[in-house]
Amino acid sequence: MQTYLVGGAVRDSLLGYPVYDRDWVVVGATPEQMLQQGFRPVGKDFPVFIHPDSGEEYALARTERKSGKGYAGFCYFASPDVTLEEDLIRRDLTINAMAMDDEGNITDPYNGLRDLQQKVLRHISPAFSEDPLRVLRVARFQARYANLGFTIAPQTVRLMQQLAQGDELEHLTAERVWQEFQRALGEDSPEQFLVTLMQANALVKLFPELIPAVNDPHTLTAISQPADPRVRFAILLRSAFAKSPSEQRNQNIRTFCDEHRTPNAYRDLALQFCSHLDQLCNYPQLDAIQRLELIRNLDLLRRDEHLKLLFQGCSVICNETQSVEQQLPQLIESLRQINPKALMDQGFKGKALGEAIYRTQLAICQQQIDGVL
């Protein structure tokens, strides 16, 4: 019974990247032996176990055979006779098919170390084309490592194109596709995820709405700049639906997010960003009514935690953002100082109280314009 660290942990440690998750392969063991040592099984029919102390995943060495459509359409065979090399060959890329023993020795049957040194993402075997999820994974790895100079092997691109030509991509769940997309949005070069999908002819099947954005060099440059993936997503959708009228654009964003199971935080920021970017970029030119409408529409008096994210997007799109970044928080804080009880003590109530608050708010907005605030 031998245990090896495998996959991304080996790859990233060799690249000098931080390692957050570690996966292990156990060669020469049975499920009964794993249970005797205190490991907890993940599932009834899947040979993966949780370490009793570290909580990390330990999988029995296994082979696989294609049995259906999609990334879940595989039958697995785990046995003490399955070798480490047989387990590693079922992985997607050579750089993900290395293993490390307890003493730090590397097992590299498919030249992953060579491809790391040559900065190439290369498939291991023709079986790569059996799993449609690998199209997304390769695109995500390119988004992560493009800044290091990595490229995708031409033969691997052709296999990705073959996958896109068939119906395998259609069997991916929206949740799984979004998971890869979201992770790519957080990588160093998120635009490479979309460019790679375009090169593989997969974008038209997975995200056809984003084709106009990917064809725009300015958008590709813009989404690589802000750090937060939610801002990158908002910039991307703004470009994708730029030619739609305002109401139709918002509906397009909602439809896109519904279809792709996008979290509400991504959807809501995209809607706010697309609806109010022009006002934020041109804040110094807004009159008192427009400034108050902006604050109310963005619900900034109650919740302004998303304001920093909006400013991130503005800093990429707008020519000058110093004014809005200084003045808008200042105005919000001044508006919060209004005391409705003091107005009630003056005899205002009901509808008249609401009108009095509104007039007071407008006066404060005008004071900022006049330089009094």
- State how far the Cα of 113 lies from the Cα of 179, in Å rounded to an integer: 28
**Are residues 141 and 185 in contact, defined by beta-carbon separation less than 8 angstroms?**
no
Which pLDDT belongs to residue 105? Answer: 95
Q: What does the DSSP assignment read for 33-97?
A: HHHHTT-EES-SSS-EEE-TTT--EEEE-EEEEE-SSSTT-EEEEE-TT--HHHHHTTSSBGGGS
Which residues fall within 8 angstroms of residue 109, CB to CB, at 6 or more apart?
84, 85, 88, 89, 97
Residue 150: what pLDDT?
98
Amino acid letter, 73: G
Chain centroid to CA 68: 28
The CA-atom distances, in angstroms, between 266 and each of 221, 235, 236, 273 are 20, 11, 11, 11
Q: What is the predicted pLDDT for the residue at 169?
A: 93
Pairing of strands 99-100, 74-78: unpaired
Cβ burial, residue 61 (10 Å; 0-12/13-18/19+) = buried
pLDDT of the residue at 66: 52
Q: Check if the beta carbon of residue 274 is closer than 8 Å to that of residue 257.
A: no
So what's the pLDDT on residue 67? 46
Distance CA 259, CA 228 (A): 22
Domain ranges of the chain: 1-118, 338-373
pLDDT on residue 367: 96
CB atoms within 10 A of CB 271: 17
pLDDT for residue 130: 85
> Could you tell me which residues are beta bridge partners of residue 77?
63
Q: Is 153:120 a contact under the CB 8 Å cutoff?
A: yes
* Chosen CATH of 1-118 out of 1.10.4160.10, 3.40.47.10, 3.30.460.10, 3.30.465.10: 3.30.460.10
Per-residue pLDDT of the chain (373 residues; tens, 9 = 90+): 899 999 999 999 999 988 888 999 999 999 899 999 999 998 766 789 999 999 999 999 988 765 455 555 456 677 888 999 999 998 999 999 999 999 999 999 999 999 999 999 999 998 898 899 999 999 999 999 999 999 999 999 999 999 999 898 998 999 999 999 999 999 999 999 999 999 999 999 999 999 999 999 999 999 999 789 999 999 999 999 999 988 899 999 999 999 999 999 999 999 999 999 999 999 999 999 999 999 999 999 998 989 999 999 999 999 888 999 999 999 999 999 999 999 999 999 999 999 999 999 999 999 999 998 7
CA distance 242 to 270: 12
